[in-house]
Amino acid sequence: MVDADQYIKNLEAAHLLREPVIKEAIRQLQLTPGSCGLDVGCGIGLYTLLLAEEVGPAGKVTGLDTDPRLIEYAERLAVESGLTERLSFINGDAAELPFADNTFAWAGSMDCIGYMPHEPVPLLRELARVVKPGGTVFLLIWSSQKLLPGYPMLEARLNATPSGIAPFDQTMNPEDHFMRALGWFRQAGLMEPIARTFVRDIIPPLDLGTLKALTELLQMRWGGAGAEVAREDWMTYRRLVDPASPEIILNPLDYYAFFTYSLFCGRC
């Protein structure tokens, strides 16, 4: 990670937009109150906090990440949230989880497995290993967006860049794309795999917090695509998303956008 501070800043800002749709997806999991679970690739713990809220005061959620800087930040957020009794964070590798078999009632990964440079099926098998029989394994992944209304060709070109389709690239097998995750669950031996997509609508008027969050989200999505599109397209994009631009697309009252998260889950 080149700039951990900037990465954390982006995550926190964009969380204002993501939180409602993540909460909706978590509710769909119907996690048992008081249960113990694992959040793999927890980052700074924003989603881990939501999982802890869902399982209630008797529950326990462990967040795991490879980056100690993110773990340290997650621990601070846990203290600020008042949920330290329900949360713990450790450094660890998703490919070799430091837990015994059948440790948790459920385990999942949000915006991590499916993006990591590893074969997904072994990672799912490793998640399933630490979950008790009958427990749930899940993945929750950002799956689509329409953020530049009125500019479909520009958005299509941005989406077609390596930044836009990451982590997928043309050298990967189609079966490794995260939208093929139902197949991963079956190959990993998980039962009754299901998928469902959740939508976050963005409708004006937008308050200052939402404007800032959406600006950060646009930066996270396509901010690295400048060298991958025509200069004219990049200049148009910058005019549309720069907060100082008189042409910023976020201000008009006819602005409407959405993004989706897709949930994949199965039973051990």
pLDDT tens figures, 123-169: 999 999 999 999 999 999 999 999 999 999 999 999 999 878 877 77
> Can you give the pLDDT at residue 1?
42
Does residue 121 surpass a pLDDT of 50?
Answer: yes
Does residue 105 surpass a pLDDT of 60?
Answer: yes
pLDDT tens figures, 54-100: 999 999 999 999 999 999 999 999 999 999 999 999 999 999 999 99
Does residue 10 surpass a pLDDT of 70?
Answer: yes
User: How far is 34 from 55, CA to CA, in rounded Å?
Assistant: 5
Does residue 108 surpass a pLDDT of 70?
Answer: yes
User: How far is 161 from 60, CA to CA, in rounded Å?
Assistant: 40
Q: What percent of the chain has pLDDT over 70?
A: 98
> Can you give the pLDDT at residue 60?
98
User: How far is 44 from 71, CA to CA, in rounded Å?
Assistant: 6
Q: What percent of the chain has pLDDT over 90?
A: 75
Q: Are 248 and 151 in contact (CB under 8 A)?
A: no
User: How far is 179 from 167, CA to CA, in rounded Å?
Assistant: 12
Does residue 219 surpass a pLDDT of 90?
Answer: no
**Mean local confidence (pLDDT), 100-111:** 97
pLDDT tens figures, 162-192: 878 877 777 778 888 899 999 999 999 999 9
Does residue 256 surpass a pLDDT of 90?
Answer: yes
